[in-house]
Structure 1
Amino acid sequence: MAETREETLRRFFQEYAKASLEGDTDTIAAAYAPTYIETSPETFAAWKVDEHYRKALIERHAVMQQQLGLDRLDVDVLTVEEVAPLHYMVKARWKMTFTKARTGPATSIFDITYMVKMAGAPQILAYISHESEEAVLRRDGVI
């Protein structure tokens, strides 16, 4: 039996989480549209997925792994809603576990809502972080 759209999106985000933990920049970059938008309560950015973007992913992975000791990254897809043909709003809860946090081992949990296009492989068009990632990491004693 074929996967449902919801099952496909759950698998997509599980693979994205695994790639993020492992620093697989090709898989991470392929998860996004060629240009996408990200926003949080404090920030807004439009990103072009190119070599500069891939370099930034490598640098971020090094900080998360080497400096903060990112040890585990889990994602739970909370809701999937079709908002237009081939377009889905996906709310996901991320859980990051760190071994080298400022206060010792720590876990941070935060929600992100994604707009994903499903014409072939899923592609993230935009995402809204419900909280500032930096604020969450500070609150939880990670940085």
Structure 2
Amino acid sequence: MDDREAWDRERRLWLEGAGVYQQLLDDECLMAFAPVGILSGAEIIRALDGAPRWLDVEMTEQRSARPNDSVLVLAYRADARRDPDVSYAAYCTSTYARTGEDWRLIQHQQTPIADPSAMHSSRSSRQEGTMDEILRSFFARYESMANRVLARDMDVGETTFAFASDFIAASPAGVMAGKNDESLKGSMEKGYARYRAIGTRELNIRDLEITPIDALHFLVRVDWRSVYEVDERPDVVIDFEVHYLVQLLKGEPKIFGWVSGDEEAVLREHGIG
């Protein structure tokens, strides 16, 4: 792959949807975004699925390096635009590696560029434009980790990063308040043990809707789909929704509350539990 083709691929990744990522990403690809964090493999695809893409991107200060015949590294400044009021600037690096006869993206990172001369309104519009992607990536990461815990591939304690130091939860059973400490980890361990016992195979996000409350707080409705293996029956699929209260705390999303329905009643309706 020559440099011209590499830069063309890089542009497509900014402007096109999840389909191009499925074509060009290596299964072990790692990406790092502030303040989202680190995403890998399928997490990246899920984070992009349904998220709005950029209408245009200008890549300047372009540099490339070839440590060997099988690795190509790109570095550049990206100035992207979604509409006249939503723009984004970052310094980026991408690494492509030859796998067989093809080249795949194995690494990408973005470091946002602050614009101190921009008006407050422009900064607010840019933040609103990027927060949608930040929150979608955050919940995609949480979804991936939840399924890894379900499959016993990850300790549940690693998922508690998603919650604020204090939180509230509401359901038909009542309202409770809690802290992000050992009690939360213990409660989550019991919850996942319960999911496994009733045959829960996977938890998937079908869609999410983001409603800003102010610059730092958001209401996020997540449409979940749970799949169960129950006796000799075909897979049982149950759709449900949870409303999350999310705060942008020190540049990172944190869940500080959620509202859910009567999960046990829905399970009984489907003969589960």
Q: TM-score, with normalisation over the residues of structure 2?
A: 0.48
State the 1:15 CA deviation: 1.3
1:39 & 1:27 partners in 2: Cα distance?
24
Q: 2:265 corresponds to which residue?
A: 135
Q: How does 1:75-94 map to 2 (within 5 A)?
A: 75-94=205-224
CA contact (8 A) 1:19 1:28 kept: yes
Query: How many residues are matched?
Result: 141
Say whether 1:22 aligns with 2:129: no
Q: Find the aligned partners of 1:52 and 1:103 in 2 and give their Cα distance.
A: 36
Q: Residues of 2 paired with 1:55 and 1:7: CA distance?
A: 31
Give SS of 2:230's match: coil
In 1: Cα distance, 2:232 partner to 2:188 partner: 22
Could you tell me how far apart the structure 1 residues matched to 2:231 and 2:262 are? 18
Contact 1:21 1:70 in 2 (8 A): no
1:95 to 217, 225, 233: 225
Shift of 1:41: 2.4
Q: Which runs of 5+ in 2 are unaligned?
A: 1-79, 81-87, 89-128, 150-154
Amino acid paired to 2:177: A
Decide which of 170, 173, 186 is 1:55's aligned counterpart: 186
The gaps in structure 1 that reach 5 residues or longer are none
1:34 to 2:34 alignment: no
- Which amino acid letter does the alignment assign opposite residue 19 of structure 1? M
Residue 100 of structure 1: how far off its partner (Å): 2.9
CA–CA distance in 2 between the matches of 1:121 and 1:56? Answer: 24
CA contact (8 A) 1:76 1:93 kept: yes
Separation of aligned partners in 2, 1:111 and 1:19: 18
Cα separation, 2, equivalents of 1:70 and 1:15: 19
**Could you say if the C-alpha distance between residues 6 and 135 of structure 1 is closer, same or farther in structure 2, counting changes exceeding 3 Å?**
same
Structure 2 counterpart of 1:17, one-letter code: E
Q: Which amino acid aligns with 1:8?
A: I
Change (3 A) 1:86 1:72: same
State the secondary structure of the residue aligned to 1:118.
strand
1:107 corresponds in structure 2 to 237
Can you list the C-alpha shifts for 1:115-140, whole angstroms capped at 9, x where unaligned? 101131110111111x2111121122
Greater gyration radius: 2
The more displaced of 49-58 and 29-38 is 49-58
In 1, Cα distance between the equivalents of 2:180 and 2:234?
Answer: 34
Aligned to 2:252, what secondary structure does the other structure show? coil
Deviates more, 1:104-113 or 1:11-20: 104-113
Structure in which a larger fraction of residues adopt strand? 2
Determine the C-alpha separation between the residues in 1 that align with 2:191 and 2:173.
Answer: 19
Assess, with a 3 A threshold, how the Cα gap between structure 1 residues 125 and 94 changes in structure 2: closer, same or farther. Answer: same
- Please state whether the residue corresponding to 1:4 is helix, strand or coil: helix
**TM superposition outliers: structure 1 runs of 4+ over 4 Å:** 101-104
The one-letter code sitting in structure 1 at the alignment partner of 2:189 is I
Bigger relative contact order, structure 1 or 2 (CA pairs below 8 A, ≥6 apart): 1
Counterpart residue type for residue 92 of structure 1: V
